[in-house]
A = this chain, B = another copy of it.
Amino acid sequence: MASGEGSRNSAAVRVALLGCGTVGTEVVRLITGQADDLTARVGAPVELAGVAVRRPHKHPWLTENFGDLVTTDAGELVTRDDVDVVVEVIGGIEPVRGWLLEALKSGKSVVTANKALLAEDGPTLAEAADASGADLYYEAAVAGAIPLLRPLRESLAGDRITRVAGIVNGTSNFILSAMSAGGTSYADALEEATRLGYAEADPSADVDGYDAAAKAAILATLAFHTRITASDVHREGMREVSSADVAAARRLGCTIKLLAICERVVDASGAESVSSRVYPAMVPDTHPLAGVDGAFNAVFVEAEAAGQLMFYGQGAGGAPTASAVLGDLVAVARNRVGGGRGPRESAYASLPVRPIGEVPTRYHVDLEVADREGVLAGIAGEFARHGVSIAAVRQTGGVNGAVDGDSGQARLTVVTHSAPEAALSATVSALLDLDHVLGVAGVLRVEGLGRAVSALGMGE
């Protein structure tokens, strides 16, 4: 491993790295380990100018091999004259926002994997980049190594994207896969994910859908040329998904996945809006997303001319994320060497955000009911009264074998046609007021994923 010492080259593209955890360490390895390849691809050497970490003693590999590059003063590093590009892999909003804005204002290009910051305040960063003519790239912020943002931003720039939907959080997918495969509870599956290093000590960002919502905001912004922040994304986590839900999904030939969905919605008058949302949903086992297990990510993109595209790969991890960072680093370094810059942010469409209440999806509703005549008629009546059309009903227990001993209870499973969330919520409230409805055991959306389904040979 070559030390950075004495290797300064005036024609080189000089990189400041902020953060040196799992991803940062891989970035250092790739920059230094394949220096010749990078030089050939960029047209000039790519050199590390400095690495900012908070506690250098926690990074023995870094300090041993690149001790002269290590600093604890990120603020100073990002404004140094000998730095051309700032690569940020720390994460979180503050103090990173200030450093990246400072770097962009002074004309340095920024490569970041920081989905939370981009989803909260991407426009401010983009404006700073535009003002100084610097590049702002962030492929690693969504779906790790999977090239997804560049295809949305560049390959499909001459098309009209209608939908981006998929699995973008590996931790929650790992937990759901474990629950599905082994019949384990959420708590046990989370414990295993934590033990294996897939989940953080505080798993909230993953299991409550914050991480997926940040990514959905970034995807929707690029896909629909409209600024969407994390707060525009309807978010439901997966803590409430029970073993019973997983079993109910299996009975329907489905698997539960935490999905991020971004859609261009066109209403009857032709007016367009954007819906972006994150929630656990049942997906038919025959759909390719149902087979995406463990820490993998997969995203479907639909565009008017291109039709349906699918992207699949590793959504997290040090090396895959570093691969995406390096791809961006090569791009901004090429721009430094050759002049010019990458595509700018574009939010010209400024579409309104559609409230979740107005977004139609299909639902699976599990009801505990009294095993009496006329129950189904009463329940079907409530669905009809709220304009929610029933696609299928199945009764278990009751006269054919009680659910709960001899209590006279039965279970009624209803799958609806597409209905707005508001109508479904109102239906569920009304059902709970019916005498013969003892409880609602579970409500889950069912996503056939639109045209994805027909292209892959499945009925809607």
A residues sitting closer than 8 Å to B (CB atoms) are 26, 30, 34, 37-38, 40-41, 43, 139, 145-147, 150-151, 154-160, 225, 288, 293, 296, 303-314, 317, 319-320, 322-331, 334-335, 338-341, 343-344, 346, 348-349, 455, 457
A-B contact pairs, 16 of them (CB 8 A): A34-B160, A41-B157, A147-B155, A150-B155, A151-B151, A155-B327, A156-B323, A157-B326, A157-B327, A158-B323, A158-B329, A293-B457, A306-B314, A306-B319, A307-B317, A311-B311
Chain B residue at smallest Cβ distance from A307 = B314
Find chain B residues with CB under 8 A from A328 CB: 158
User: A40-B225, A158-B323, A312-B310 known; A305 and B26 CB under 8 Å?
Assistant: yes
What are the 5 A-B residue pairs with the smallest beta carbon separation, nearest first?
Answer: A340-B340, A158-B326, A147-B155, A145-B306, A147-B151
User: A330-B157, A331-B157 known; A309 and B309 CB under 8 Å?
Assistant: no
Docked Cα-Cα span, A304 to B26, in Å, equals: 12
Shortest A296–chain B CB gap in Å is: 8
Find chain B residues with CB under 8 A from A146 CB: 309
Query: Which of the residues B293, B305, B334 comes within 8 Å of A326, measured between beta carbons?
Result: B305
Shortest A99–chain B CB gap in Å is: 22
Find chain B residues with CB under 8 A from A325 CB: 158
**Which residue among A293, A317, A339 has the maximum number of chain B CB atoms within 10 Å of its CB?**
A339
Contacts A303-B323, A306-B313 supplied; 16 other A-B pairs, CB < 8 Å: A30-B159, A40-B346, A41-B157, A41-B346, A146-B309, A147-B151, A147-B156, A150-B151, A150-B154, A154-B330, A157-B330, A157-B331, A159-B326, A306-B320, A309-B312, A311-B311
Find chain B residues with CB under 8 A from A156 CB: 147, 323, 327
Beta-carbon contact of B307 and A310 below 8 Å: no
Query: Which of the residues B158, B309, B324 comes within 8 Å of A330, measured between beta carbons?
Result: B158
Beta-carbon contact of A37 and B160 below 8 Å: yes
Shortest A294–chain B CB gap in Å is: 9
Docked Cα-Cα span, A328 to B158, in Å, equals: 8
Docked Cα-Cα span, A305 to B293, in Å, equals: 20
Beta-carbon contact of A158 and B38 below 8 Å: yes
Find chain B residues with CB under 8 A from A40 CB: 225, 346, 348-349
Docked Cα-Cα span, A331 to B343, in Å, equals: 8
Shortest A252–chain B CB gap in Å is: 21
Chain B residue at smallest Cβ distance from A335 = B340
Beta-carbon contact of B314 and A311 below 8 Å: no
Find chain B residues with CB under 8 A from A296 CB: 455
Beta-carbon contact of A30 and B158 below 8 Å: yes
